[in-house]
Amino acid sequence: MKRRSFAAATVLGAGLVFAIGAGASEPHATAHAEDPARTIHPTFPLLDRNGEHVLDSGAAVSPTATCGRCHDTAFIAEHDLHAKISRREPAAGLARLTAAERTSWERADGTFETDCFVCHVVAPNDAARRAALDGGRADDAPTAELVRAGLVSSGAAGWEWQAGAFDAQRHVRADFVAVQDPTSEHCGACHGLAGDLSTAIVDWTGDVSPRRTLRTGEVFSGTRLHDSTFNLENKESRGRAFDVHAERLLECVDCHHSLNHPVFREAREDVRPEHLRFDARRLDLRDYLERPSHELSLASGEGGHDEIGTMRGCTACHDATTGHEWLPYAERHFDRLSCAVCHVPEMAAPALRSIDAAGDVAWRGTAASVPDALTPIAPWAPVLIPRREADGRTRLAPHNLVTEIAADGEATVRAFPIAHGVTSGKDALRDCSACHDQDSRLTRPIALVASSPRPPRLAEGVAWSGEIRPRAGGAWDYVPDHDDAGLYVLGHDSSRFANVAGIGTVAAVAFAIGLHALARIIAARRRPRRAAAPRRERVHFYSRYERLWHWLQALAIFALMATGVGVAFPAAILGTDFATMVRAHNVIGFVVVANALLAAFYHVASGEIRQFLPSPAGFFDAAIRQTRYYVAGIFRDDPHPFERSPQRKLNPLQQLTYLGILNVLLPLQTVTGILIWSAQRWPAVDAWFGGLALLVPLHALGAWLFAAFLLAHIYLTTTGPTPLAHVKAMIRGWDLESTEPHGRPERGTALPGTPQPEETS
């Protein structure tokens, strides 16, 4: 058993309090030395409901009377979560409690009895307790838990207590009955599988009581899967424990502790003074042991609990900023997703899928109607539904859906949250494409019923973010819709309009380029060869900085578009992971922006900015001539209508295009890209601009338009004297320019370089 720094104080304090409370003049038996767990609690007498010693009355033991000698059992009964649940009106279906799961019951005289032994006695006889409760003998249940060799037996005249089980003070000897804090095995007796599962043979009887394992598949055990008795698929490769917290020796009460426990208690923010970071005013240990609240810390009002969010969340113990460096947009993930989404990726135990009024059960994880120890079990993935968590925030969290089918055929789907079965490290979900790919687990359907004439209805009280849809053969599925949960998932979500419009534009440009190139080839083959090539001279067009800037920007833009495709369509680029693509896209995006800013400074400082500014005088005439050249003149091998020079490198159409690129498209991509990148840093700003649902489609549409521009830009580099002339010029800095006059010759004049006819008189 694990020990903490406060454990020693608890043990010492418990001994002192019980000694004072029971009376210093009343000696106690020496604690059992062979089992340290038994040294926490002193020995005690066993009393019946009338306060008489059981050796005198021979009656059944009363935990309330026995424990009431030192503890305020009236206070405990009033502040007991399990007692409140036990006394509730019986609910229907999976919400009901079986008699064997009640820890408190009403006596015939209207008083209540709370069974302290079921949680605090070491190794109680739970089977005997359940048999007594199922048999309608509730008052005998605590005594039945103590049925062990030499202590008590059931005879014809009632219970027979053995005097040898008690010491000289008539306290029950510690080697017969010992008391301790509840262990996970105590909790598991009602709530689900817990403790060592390396030898226990699990018998899946189909019981539909509220045990968490049956409703959710949760198992709280430190046993490794390949060491368990479960017949799991690929069992030998499953080296993780059922739950990492149990593997680290945590007990259930370490998280689900008493609300007034002096070690764990924290005042709520709405009642804690603002100037205090820690309130040292704690309940005295003696007072706590006298009046321990049995209201346990739970998350988000589970089980009808009055307090909301009394249990610490994951981040109260774990520093999420450590260990998630690999995760892009980590804070946004923490804000929208429960930790269990990735740390409970699958359940290793069968769980209910549906149950009808006749008791027929369908399971998740196995096709058997009643699984046994040999039934193959296939781990299954929970469905993700919004849930309010301990900190009051609503996040997507794993659930199991169980469909209850009434006798009249009415089917109701209930959602049961999953919080146990936690794993860490390499066994946690680290594949981003599991959520961000098109086949996202966020929207993956989960089967409800195999056959039903009408659709099941969704139970109230759950923040459903999806709908029920039919499947072939009369089956019904629940299909999550994360849009209802207010999520926009990169890679999975995309704007149909942006993609259709963008891809259509790129396809139209590519088609036009193809037709234009084919026409140029055909025209060149039909055109007679020149008698002599035009004279050209080498002219220095591009400085070293211009060339370096151009190729760096070109490389960065191509890389940016490639990684953008990887982010928008994760499966499009094989051999890469989504997280790497996101990080690379962000880094390259900042490189492009920085390079663009440096280029802007250079062009303004050097005056080269004039290259991109159209001159109003004659601009439209020049643009029309340039258009006529691309549409017709280029096929006739007409001279280029624009005379290039180092001082004037761009023709009117290029100036107009760059004016739109630099003043509209580039700013659009820069602003939307930065807002997408900063979505977790400045969520309010992101929301003010419409959120990712608007920003991402705009960014995608801009990317497609950039792709169309690049296609046209690359193609137009082939319209020089030779197909690679302009590319070579951007590499070397020198270009060949014709010394012949520019412009199309007047009708009736010969092209430059052609022989002239002799004059006649």
Which region among 87-96, 554-563, 719-728 has the lowest average model confidence (pLDDT)?
87-96
Residues 239, 240, 242: CA angle, nearest 5 degrees: 130
Please indicate whether residue 530 or residue 544 has the higher confidence score (pLDDT). 544
- Sequence letter at residue 122: V
The arithmetic mean of pLDDT across residues 669-689, rounded, is 86
Does the domain at residues 544-616+647-738 carry the CATH identifier 1.20.950.20?
A: yes
For residue 515, give every residue at least 6 positions away whose Cβ sits within 8 Å of its Cβ, in sequence order, or none.
Answer: none
Beta pairing, strands 536-540 & 457-458: unpaired
Phi, psi of 641 (to 5 degrees): -70, -10
208 alpha carbon, distance to own chain's centre: 29
Question: What is the pLDDT at residue 668?
Answer: 92
Q: How far apart are CA 167 and CA 151, in angstroms?
A: 12
% of the chain residues with pLDDT over 70? 86
- Element (H or E) spanning 159, and its range? strand 158-161
Give start-end residues of each CATH 1.20.950.20 domain in the chain. 544-616+647-738
CB atoms within 10 A of CB 522: 11
Decide: 99 and 133 in contact? Cβ < 8 Å. yes
d(CA 111, CA 133): 17
Could you give the CA distance from residue 160 to residue 151 in angstroms, rounded to a whole number? 8
Provide the pLDDT confidence category of residue 531 given band limits of 50, 70 and 90: low
Choose among 614, 602, 621, 607: nearest CA to 650. Answer: 614
Residue 91, pLDDT above cutoff 80: no
Q: Which of 37-46, 155-164, 484-493 has the lowest mean pLDDT?
A: 37-46
Question: Is 66:166 a contact under the CB 8 Å cutoff?
Answer: no
Q: Burial-class residue 216 by CB neighbours within 10 Å (0-12, 13-18, 19+).
A: buried
Q: pLDDT by residue (tens digit) across 499-509?
A: 899 999 999 99
pLDDT top residue among 477 and 684: 477
Q: What is the predicted pLDDT for the residue at 5?
A: 35
SS3 154: strand
Structure tokens at 361: 């059960």
How many CB atoms within 10 Å of residue 285? 18
pLDDT for position 70:
92
For 274, phi and psi rounded to 5 degrees? Answer: -65, -30
pLDDT at 22 over 70: no
Digit-coded pLDDT (tens) for 47-78: 999 999 999 999 999 999 999 999 999 999 88
Higher pLDDT among residues 357 and 370, named by residue? 357
- Confidence band, pLDDT 50/70/90 cuts, at residue 358: confident
* In contact, 426 and 471? CB cutoff 8 Å: no
- CA dist 150 and 687 (Å) reads 71
Could you give phi then psi for residue 252, rounded to 5 degrees?
-60, -40
DSSP designation for 496: H
pLDDT tens-digit readout, 182-199: 999 998 888 888 989 888
State the average pLDDT over residues 141-148: 89
Question: Which runs of E-coded beta strand occur in 500-570?
Answer: 536-540
Tell me which residue of 380, 375, 355 sits closest to 365, measured CA to CA.
380
**Angle between the 692-716 and 544-568 helix axes, to the nearest 10 degrees?**
130
**CB 489 within 8 Å of CB 442:** yes
Coarse DSSP helix, strand, coil percentages of the chain, rounded to the nearest 5 percent: 40, 15, 45
Q: What is the pLDDT of residues 304-323, one digit of tens each?
A: 444 444 677 788 788 888 88
Give backbone dihedrals phi and psi of 537, rounded to 5 degrees, phi first: -130, 155
Tell me if residue 522 falls in helix, strand or coil.
helix
User: What is the bridge-based pairing of β-strands 411-417 and 394-405?
Assistant: antiparallel
> How many CB atoms are located within 10 Å of the residue 760 CB?
4
Short-list 403, 244, 375, 393, CA closest to 318: 244
Radius of gyration of the chain (CA): 39
Whose tokens are 């009117």? That residue is 652
> What pLDDT does residue 241 have?
94
Neighbours of 551 (CB within 10 A): 12
- Res 18 pLDDT > 50: no
pLDDT at residue 227 in the model: 92
Find the mean pLDDT for residues 415-419.
91
Higher pLDDT, 209 or 523: 523
Whole-angstrom Cα distance, residue 73 to residue 759?
A: 130
Residue 96 has pLDDT above 80, yes or no: no
pTM: 0.78
* Cβ neighbours of 756 (radius 10 Å): 7
What is the band of 92 on the pLDDT scale with cuts at 50, 70, 90? low
**Cα–Cα separations (whole angstroms), residue 586 to 431, 508, 542, 560, 674:** 19, 29, 30, 8, 9
Task: Give the list of residues 6+ apart from residue 634 with CB closer than 8 angstroms, or none.
Answer: 520, 719
Residues 6+ apart with CB under 8 A from 506: 704, 707, 708, 711
pLDDT (0 to 100) of residue 699: 93
Report which secondary-structure segment, H or E, holds 730: helix 725-732
**What residues have CB less than 8 Å from 644, skipping those under 6 apart?**
541, 651, 735, 737
